[in-house]
Every structure is written in structure tokens, then in C-alpha cells.
Amino acid sequence: MSKTLYQGEVKEPDGWVGKALPRMEDSKLLQGQGQYVDDITLPGQLHAVFLRSPHPHADITSIDVSVAESMEGVMACLTGDDFSNTSPIKPNWVLPRAIAKGRPPIAQGRVRYVGEPVVVVIAKSEALARDAADLVKVDYAPLPFVLDQDEALEANAPRLHEDMASNEAALFAPGNGGFDDAAGQAPHRFQFSLRNQRLIPFPIEGRCVNADYEVSTGRMTLYIGHQLPHMIRRMMSEAIDFPENKLRVVSPDVGGGFGAKMHFYQEELIAAIASIKLGRPVKWTERRDEHVAATTHGRDHTMDVDVAVDEDGKFIALRVDSRANIGAYMSSMGSGIPTVNVGLFVMGVYAIPHVEARIRCVYTNTTPVDAYRGAGRPEASYVIERTIDRIGHELGLDPAEIRRRNFLKDDELPRRQPTGAMLDTGRYHHTLAEVVAQSDYEAFRLKQSDTRASGRLLGQGISNYTETCGIGPGQIQAYVGFDRGGYESARVRMLSDGRAVVYSGSHSHGQGHVTTYAQIAADELGVSPDLIEVIQGDTDAVPQGIGTFNSRSVVVGGSAVKVASSRIAERINVLAAHLLQAKQDEVSRNGDVFSVNDGEKSVTLREICKVAWNGHNVPFDFGIGLEETEFYHPKSMSAPYGAHVAQVEIDPRTGELSLDRYVAVDDCGRVINPLLARGQVHGGLAQGIGQALYEDGTPLENGSTPLEPSIPRFDMVPKYESSHTVTESWTNPLGAKGLGEAGTIAAPSAIVNAAIDALWHLGVRELEMPLTPARILAAIEQAQSSGGAK
């Protein structure tokens, strides 16, 4: 492993973009000086505690809050009756023709998942609210329930919403058709099933909200750890008909989100309503046991694959029939993630003449499922990357070779795949070749066969994931029912002292915007990043924006910063020429000094900035100041991709899997900061490895969620080897592609492919995630008892 971050196709740049700058925000965070919502306590602060359903499905027969309500210091005990006129929370992405059943603010006579809010107690302290909640009596009449999406589709399954004809919430069927005809004549056809288990996003900071309604002004400030400050402002305003110009959302430091902090949940709605009702600030801080039950989950998607290939292993046709569990209610993006974000990408980076996908979203008595890092793309990538490996093994072709035979070629891009996915640029052969070299893939093959005689089980797996990032434009979002803008804002202001402020509508929940945006602006403005302040997360301060998801912060938000900064740079040049009484092309800049005629006359950047703002010597048509706002609206999305290799050894006696090596070569276009890029890859891989090997959020038999999630600690992941190929995107001025979700998308299929590669000769064909030792051992034993490899 090279010690430098500049390796392969990432070279140390002359400018700031591309430099491995350490994160400028870390000093504060590492000293414990970050400020999170729970750190904010206001005068007159009240605290909310929720009483939640212990049943997956039940009618509420009675609620008695009388004792709790009479306790000194208890301000209110609110039940479903208090919210009977409040509409259920509207999902933000409703697939066309989907049946959207949003969450009621508080259960209306019936609970549909364990953890659903039933009563909220508001008191002068959290401890008091907790004690009072213990004294609330709720009686339930349990109802039959269903947790699994396949069972929920059966005709006699318990019905989640009585006015629906079935539990099917949405159907999405992309593709170009023709499967039956094409596959019917194919020489090889394989059918098998796959499952992406339910996962629980686990930010270090749980959800937290503090709603502060000011009676005298009618204004409300909503402090909330959120990925989309402006979106939550709009959604709140719509939900309670609150004037949006009197609503301020402040999202201070945010300790991770992974997709779970971009929705509109019951708790913030209730905190806001309660604050208006009581005229005092109301805070709610999530407990871990609430987090696993009440914050959205991810994945939970079962898939049947039918694939046909020719004699050479080239795709003829692919059909995917799948069922996504979306939980008891449709969460914010609950009908879009498992459909559009899966269906478009089931072809991966391959040429497949005929594709048909059918995806059904299903209501069950479980916690709502929504976006979780990768958000649909891990499921899609798992389907196609497991499928192509399966074909290779079935035909006796190396997984690397079968991929080479099916890749889209460089000159076939840009391309809109028959499923609708837009792939802008990519060099799939090249990136695979890189990872093959870096992982000593061929040497591992030799070692694998050399050690097999002694009973050792070595395996390696490849994942050639792709996704599309940087969502926009809005017109495309409208087409799929996604009620969210596809732009991002940046306001850049150069101040009198030559320093700058960047206001971004995007919002970091760990990504490092303070550093990357400063780098982008620095190159345009010609100043050092440490002279640039980045402000985000306050809707009264930053221009109308969208927020952070879909690996879009650099691609869209960063482009906005670049465009706005470049316009300021242009104004600086104009003003410099004016002050020097020269033509613009006669002025040369050297650092902070602008001069003409080899330095005969000069003016400093600071002097220019001062003049721009005092307006004493500016042309009238120049206007005042150095401030530009850009709402960057991309015309198309970018498609990052990569090639990852996992190498594993399985102990045949115990089923224990050792992930010995993980090599990631990612192509996210232009890399803004290789250090932060590496951080994104590492974090994503940890979560992808978690899905492959450890985590399982499937409800227990009684419908509750297991409290001990097996999220990986640092000692449960290998030393990563990560690098980049650089294939720039033409979809944005940075040439960037987005990277935040890459590791999460790539790792599950790479690792499961590796495990099956180790066991294929024994007769093992499929393994279900997570690959626990027990499951691996059972698969080995089952394969052996049924006669081993055929």
C-alpha cells in the first residue's frame, strides 16, 4: 500500500481541488465542542416522551392518562384524539399510481407496528415525562399481523389498511420487454432467489428535535438534526399550515444520518404542534430502543431472478421479480427507493438486450422502510452482480472473464439503459483491470486451487457496481412522483477583508462540506481555503436549497459553489481593471496582487474587496459588493462506478468467514479531496460489510426489532485498500460523480460472491445475508448431504 493519498490516477494538483486537506471541521468536533440539537436547551424548555405500541397490530381499546396528567410539572398528555384533525404525514415521493398511506401523527385507534407512537407526555423535565409516561394505561386488543412481504401478499394475509384491496402499495415495471421470446430459445437459463435483509441505519447521534414557537411574533424555530433543512421546513409548513416565512429550521452539527434523517417523522410534527399549543419550546431526544423501532429501516427486498445467456455467457435476457417490504405506512421515499432506485439499476454496467423488472411494494406490520445509504442501488447491484457471478460459475468461466464479455464498452457511453438508468461515462474494462492487478487476483486463483486439496476454502468475489448520483433535474423527479427539487444553492460572499463566506443549501451530516466547499471556492477566488467560512443548516441564513442525499453534495451543491464563486472571481477581475484604469486582459494577478505593466500600478485583493463593499469607487453599472447566488440545476445525473474485490477464507469446521483482503477501486470522476474520498469509501464499506456479514434488522417473531444490532466496529473490518480511476463526468462543471454510497453498494455482492466462490465446488449455490458462521456451515452441510457439486 502506498502511503500517499495521491496514487494511480489521482495526482497531486496545483490548485486546491484535489488536495488531501485534513477536515477543517474536525478540531471542534474532536474537542467535544460540536453543538447538536440535544445540546440546545432553551428558557422554559419542555420535554416530550412517547409511549409506543408494544404490538405489531392491535386496536387501542382504552387510554387512561388521568394519573399522569395530574402529576406536578406535567404539561400535557396527548393521544390520538388530540390529533384526529391532523392529516397523516404525506410521503415526499409517491410513485405514480401508488397507494400512499402516510403515518398518522399518533395512532388513531389502531397501531400497525411495534414502536408506533400512542401517547405523548410533555413535562418540565425528561425524567418527569418518563415517570408520567409509566403511569399512562393503554389497553390493546391484538390483531393478527404479518411481518414478511411475501406472506403479506397472500390472499388471506392480515390487511394493514382496510380500505385497500390487498397489501400491495405500489408496482413498478421498467424494462424493454421481450424476455419470454428471447429467453425461450436461449442455450442457458438460470433461476434463483436473493434477499437483501432489513437493515437499521445507525447514526451515532439519534434523532432529536426542539420546536420553539414564539407566541409574541408567531414565529417558530425548529432545531432538528436533519439532512434537508429546507425540505423539512416546507413539509412542516404544509402539514400544519404554518406560514413558511415564519418558520426557521436550524440543523446544527449532525452526527450521521445515512438517509434516516431526511424524512418527516411524527415526533417533529408533534413537537411543533405541542409547542404552539403550550407556547413553550418542546424537545424530544430519541433513545436507542426508540431508534430501532421508530426510525426508518432500510432494504428488506426479496428478489427472484430469471436470466438467459448464450454459449459464451453473454446476456440474452434478464427478468427480476421482486417484493419490497415498506413497513406499516409509506414513509417519505418509501415507494420510490425500492422501485425507481432498484429497477433502473438491475442491468448494472452490462449490455443486456432484454430486461423486464417487476417490483411490488408491500405494507406489513413493521417499522416503515425508507432510504438507507445506497438506497435501492445496493439491492440492484446485489441482483446483477450476484447474477453475473452465478452465470460465470455455472458455465465454468472466471467471474472476471464473464464480466469482460458483458461490459458496456467505453464508446457505448453515454447511454440510457433500457430500464431508464443514464450512464454518463465509464471505463469498465479499465477499472476492472486495475482491481485485478491491485488485488493480485490471478495469484489468489492459483493459491485457491493449490490449497483446496488440503481442504482450505479460499474465495474471491468481484463487484462492478454502478449507481447514479447528484439527483436532478426537477423535471425528472416530477416524472417519477418525487416532490423535491433537483437543484442546489450556494451564495458566496467575499467580504471587505478579502475573506469569503459560502452559504450552502446542502447540509453536512458528517461528509465534510466545510472543507470540500472551501476547496472548490478557493480555486475560483484565488484564496486559501482557510480564509473561507462555510455556513449551512440554517434556513434563515442560507438560500433556499434541497439538502444532502443521493451522493449529491459535491456534484450538485459543489457545482453551485463553483459557479457562484467563478462569477465573483469575474467581478473581482472587472473591479481590478477599473481600479487600475486598464483593460481586463491587461491586468495580471499574482497571488493577492493585481497589476498592470509589470507592476507599475497594482492593487491588492483586499483593496478591491473593500472598494466593492464601500462603493466609493465602483462603476454604477457594476453595482455593489461581491456576492453571488447560484441555484445549480443539473441537466443530467452522473453515474459513478467501481470494481471491488473481496478475498475470504472459510473455516470448513466452523463456517467462520475471515475477510482477509478488500480492494476497492472507485471511479467518482474528479476527486475533490482524496482524504475525504477515502473516508467516504471506508465508511461505506463498513456498512456494506455489515450487511454482508453481520447485521439483520428482521423483526423478531413478536414483531419487535432486535435491540442489539451487529453493526461493525473497527475490529470487525479489514484494512481497506482503496484507490481511484478517474473518468470525469460531463454532467457538471466539476467533472465529479459522487462517492458517499459507493462502498455500501459494492461490498455486499463482492463478499457474498467471494464466499460462494469458496464453496461452489462443494455444491453451495446461494447464501443468505448476513453470512453468519451458522448459515455458512449449514449451507456446506446441506450441499454435502445432497451429494455435493453436480
Partner 1 sequence: MIPAPFNYERPNSPEAALALLTATPDAAFLAGGHSLLTRLKRREERPPLVIDLSGTGLDKIQTTDDGGLIVGAMVSQAELVNAVSEADWTLLKNTGFSAGDPMIRHRGTIVGAMCEADPRGDWAATALALDASVELLLVNSGRHSITYADYLTAPPSEAHLVLSTSLPAQPKNAVQSYSKVKHIAVGWAVASAAIVMSPDHVRIALSGALDAPQRVPTLEQAVVDMVSKTPDAQAVKAVISEALSGLHWQGDRYAPADYRAHRMAVLLEDVISDHLKLLTFS
Pairwise CA distance, residues 532 & 490, whole Å: 13
Among positions 43, 708, 786, 790, the unique one binding partner 1 when judged by CB under 8 A: 708
Binders of partner 1 in range 219-278 (CB under 8 A): none
| Helix runs in 496-558, H state only | 513-525
Looking at 23-31, 506-514, 558-566, 648-656, which segment touches partner 1 (CB under 8 A)?
A: 648-656
3-state SS class at 589: strand
- Interaction of residue 351 with partner 1, rule CB under 8 A: no
Contact between 117 and 357 (Cβ < 8 Å): no
**DSSP 8-state secondary structure symbol assigned to residue 50:** E
- Least separation in angstroms between residue 717's CB and partner 1 is 11
Among positions 225, 378, 688, 709, the unique one binding partner 1 when judged by CB under 8 A: 709
Looking at 65-73, 137-145, 442-450, 705-713, which segment touches partner 1 (CB under 8 A)?
A: 705-713
Nearest residue (CB) to partner 1, 457 versus 693: 693
Q: Cα 235 from chain centroid?
A: 20
- Least separation in angstroms between residue 769's CB and partner 1 is 13
In this structure, the strands spanning 315-327 and 354-363 are parallel
Among positions 171, 397, 675, 711, the unique one binding partner 1 when judged by CB under 8 A: 711
- Least separation in angstroms between residue 445's CB and partner 1 is 28
- Interaction of residue 45 with partner 1, rule CB under 8 A: no
DSSP 242-261: --GGGEEEE-------TTTT
The CA R_g of the chain, rounded to the nearest whole Å, is 28
Cell of 685: 464499506
- Interaction of residue 748 with partner 1, rule CB under 8 A: no
49 bridge partner residues: 121
- Least separation in angstroms between residue 709's CB and partner 1 is 7
Cα angle 63, 65, 67 (rounded to 5 degrees) comes to 135
Pairwise CA distance, residues 731 & 468, whole Å: 11
Cα angle 381, 386, 390 (rounded to 5 degrees) comes to 155
**How many other C-beta atoms lie within 10 A of the C-beta of residue 68?**
22
Pairwise CA distance, residues 519 & 672, whole Å: 8
Amino acid type, 56: P
Looking at 351-359, 502-510, 710-718, 732-740, which segment touches partner 1 (CB under 8 A)?
A: 710-718
602 bridge partner residues: 595
Looking at 303-311, 427-435, 704-712, 739-747, which segment touches partner 1 (CB under 8 A)?
A: 704-712
- Least separation in angstroms between residue 459's CB and partner 1 is 19
Among positions 87, 654, 658, 782, the unique one binding partner 1 when judged by CB under 8 A: 654
Nearest residue (CB) to partner 1, 74 versus 726: 74
Among positions 289, 401, 450, 766, the unique one binding partner 1 when judged by CB under 8 A: 289
Looking at 238-246, 455-463, 649-657, 738-746, which segment touches partner 1 (CB under 8 A)?
A: 649-657
Among positions 108, 176, 588, 710, the unique one binding partner 1 when judged by CB under 8 A: 710
Phi and psi at 289, nearest 5°, equal -70, -25
- Interaction of residue 658 with partner 1, rule CB under 8 A: no
- Interaction of residue 34 with partner 1, rule CB under 8 A: no
- Least separation in angstroms between residue 323's CB and partner 1 is 22
- Cis, bond preceding 13 (omega within 30 deg of 0): no
Binders of partner 1 in range 118-177 (CB under 8 A): 126-127, 130-131, 134
Among positions 153, 433, 531, 716, the unique one binding partner 1 when judged by CB under 8 A: 716
Pairwise CA distance, residues 578 & 587, whole Å: 10
Pairwise CA distance, residues 265 & 225, whole Å: 12
> What separation in angstroms does the CA of 440 have from each of 96, 437, 749?
47, 5, 19
- Least separation in angstroms between residue 437's CB and partner 1 is 32
Pairwise CA distance, residues 458 & 757, whole Å: 8
- Interaction of residue 706 with partner 1, rule CB under 8 A: yes
Contact between 221 and 538 (Cβ < 8 Å): no
- Least separation in angstroms between residue 100's CB and partner 1 is 33
Contact between 519 and 21 (Cβ < 8 Å): yes
Cell of 627: 456576492
Nearest residue (CB) to partner 1, 541 versus 700: 700
CA neighbor of 421 nearest in space, from 479, 483, 341 = 341
Number of shown-chain residues binding partner 1 (CB under 8 A): 28
- Interaction of residue 531 with partner 1, rule CB under 8 A: no
**How many other C-beta atoms lie within 10 A of the C-beta of residue 784?**
13
Q: Count of residues for the chain?
A: 790
The percent helix, strand, coil of the chain (3-state, each to 5) is 30, 25, 45
Cell of 657: 468467514
Pairwise CA distance, residues 673 & 719, whole Å: 21
- Interaction of residue 774 with partner 1, rule CB under 8 A: yes
Show the site string, 577-596: x = touches partner 1 by CB under 8 A, - = not.
--------------------
Q: What burial class does residue 736 get, using C-beta atoms within 10 Å of its C-beta: 0-12 exposed, 13-18 middle, 19+ buried?
A: buried
- Least separation in angstroms between residue 545's CB and partner 1 is 35
Amino acid type, 661: R
Among positions 772, 779, 780, 783, the unique one binding partner 1 when judged by CB under 8 A: 772
Among positions 223, 258, 345, 694, the unique one binding partner 1 when judged by CB under 8 A: 694
Nearest residue (CB) to partner 1, 134 versus 310: 134
Nearest residue (CB) to partner 1, 197 versus 565: 197
Nearest residue (CB) to partner 1, 249 versus 767: 767
Pairwise CA distance, residues 485 & 472, whole Å: 7
- Least separation in angstroms between residue 148's CB and partner 1 is 15
- Least separation in angstroms between residue 126's CB and partner 1 is 6
3-state SS class at 402: helix
- Least separation in angstroms between residue 698's CB and partner 1 is 8
782: alpha, beta or left? (left if phi > 0; alpha if psi -120 to 50): alpha
Nearest residue (CB) to partner 1, 90 versus 130: 130
- Interaction of residue 652 with partner 1, rule CB under 8 A: no
Nearest residue (CB) to partner 1, 267 versus 666: 267
- Least separation in angstroms between residue 253's CB and partner 1 is 22
- Interaction of residue 773 with partner 1, rule CB under 8 A: yes
In this structure, the strands spanning 500-504 and 488-494 are antiparallel
Nearest residue (CB) to partner 1, 706 versus 763: 706
- Interaction of residue 696 with partner 1, rule CB under 8 A: yes
CA neighbor of 676 nearest in space, from 435, 512, 539 = 512
Contact between 663 and 435 (Cβ < 8 Å): yes
Cα angle 388, 464, 717 (rounded to 5 degrees) comes to 110
- Interaction of residue 777 with partner 1, rule CB under 8 A: yes
Nearest residue (CB) to partner 1, 287 versus 452: 287
Nearest residue (CB) to partner 1, 56 versus 526: 56
- Least separation in angstroms between residue 289's CB and partner 1 is 7
The 3-class SS string of 648-668 reads EEECCCCCCEEEEEEEEEEEC
Nearest residue (CB) to partner 1, 81 versus 134: 134
Nearest residue (CB) to partner 1, 339 versus 772: 772
Nearest residue (CB) to partner 1, 558 versus 655: 655
Binders of partner 1 in range 536-575 (CB under 8 A): none
- Least separation in angstroms between residue 293's CB and partner 1 is 13
Interface with partner 1 by CB under 8 A: which residues?
Answer: 126-127, 130-131, 134, 287-289, 653-655, 693-694, 696, 698, 706, 708-713, 716, 772-774, 777-778
